[in-house]
């Protein structure tokens, strides 16, 4: 078998990359997990609170069991460390997202930033970079901020 990669392609909502016997499938679940991990680890470590928030976000939004959520987040961590093309892949995958999806992702990322009670500049910068990577309109980011603060004030 040849190890030459084939042209990446979309199949439904999944982005497929093949190289020889290796097939990588990226979807919206992976996109969200990777961006959450990217934001959480931007300050140098992922806190227990951030880990719990990411597990909740991925599990609740995609209706996954905790083991599936953990596996997805673990894969995202590994890919972020090992795959230099990952940001390009996420950008391409984001093309299939609606504006509502993008706003929801921005809200999820805000929850990760706030999870450990510390809003460090590195995490805010990472959130802004993540928004740029998947082309979230600044108005949608502001809307996500409004939703986040409305939700957290109601919950207090």
| Phi, psi (degrees; rounded to nearest 5) at 51 | -60, -50
> Bigger pLDDT: 7 or 126?
126
| Total number of domains constituting the chain | 1
Q: Is residue 8 pLDDT above 80, yes or no?
A: no
Assess contact for 46 and 109: CB atoms under 8 A.
Answer: no
> Bigger pLDDT: 52 or 122?
52
Averaged over 57-72, what is the pLDDT? 96
Task: Assess if residue 53 is contained within a domain.
Answer: yes
Task: Assess if residue 118 is contained within a domain.
Answer: yes
Give bridge partners of residue 5 from the DSSP assignment: 19
Distance CA 4, CA 26 (A): 19
Query: HSE-up of 75 (CA within 13 Å, CB side)?
Result: 16
Task: Assess if residue 4 is contained within a domain.
Answer: no
* pLDDT score of 151: 83
Task: Assess if residue 3 is contained within a domain.
Answer: no
What band does 125 get if pLDDT is binned at 50, 70 and 90? very high
Domain harbouring 92, CATH code: 1.10.3680.10
Q: Is residue 6 pLDDT above 70, yes or no?
A: no
Against a cut of 0.75, is the pTM above it? yes
Domain carrying residue 124: 9-155
Task: Assess if residue 104 is contained within a domain.
Answer: yes
Q: Which residues contact 9 (CB under 8 A, 6 or more apart)?
A: 15, 16
Task: Assess if residue 146 is contained within a domain.
Answer: yes
* pLDDT score of 156: 54
Task: Assess if residue 1 is contained within a domain.
Answer: no
Task: Assess if residue 82 is contained within a domain.
Answer: yes
Q: Which residues contact 53 (CB under 8 A, 6 or more apart)?
A: 111, 112, 115
**Percentage of residues in the chain with pLDDT exceeding 90?**
59
| Phi, psi (degrees; rounded to nearest 5) at 26 | -120, 135
Q: What is the largest CA-CA distance in the chain?
A: 59
* pLDDT score of 141: 94
């Amino acid at each position: 078998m040849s190890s030459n990669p084939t042209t990446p392609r979309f199949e439904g909502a999944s982005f497929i990359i093949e190289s020889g016997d290796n097939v990588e499938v990226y979807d919206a679940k992976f996109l969200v997990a990777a961006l959450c991990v990217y934001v959480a680890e931007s300050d140098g470590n992922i806190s227990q609170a951030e880990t719990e928030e990411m597990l909740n976000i991925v599990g609740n939004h995609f209706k996954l069991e905790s083991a599936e959520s953990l596996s997805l987040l673990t894969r995202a961590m590994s890919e972020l460390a090992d795959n230099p093309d990952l940001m390009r892949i996420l950008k391409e995958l984001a093309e299939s997202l609606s504006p509502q999806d993008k706003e929801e992702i921005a809200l999820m990322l805000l929850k990760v930033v706030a999870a450990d009670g510390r809003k460090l500049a590195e995490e805010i910068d990472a959130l802004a970079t993540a928004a740029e990577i998947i082309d979230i309109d600044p108005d949608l980011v502001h809307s996500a901020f409004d939703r986040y603060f409305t939700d957290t004030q109601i919950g207090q």
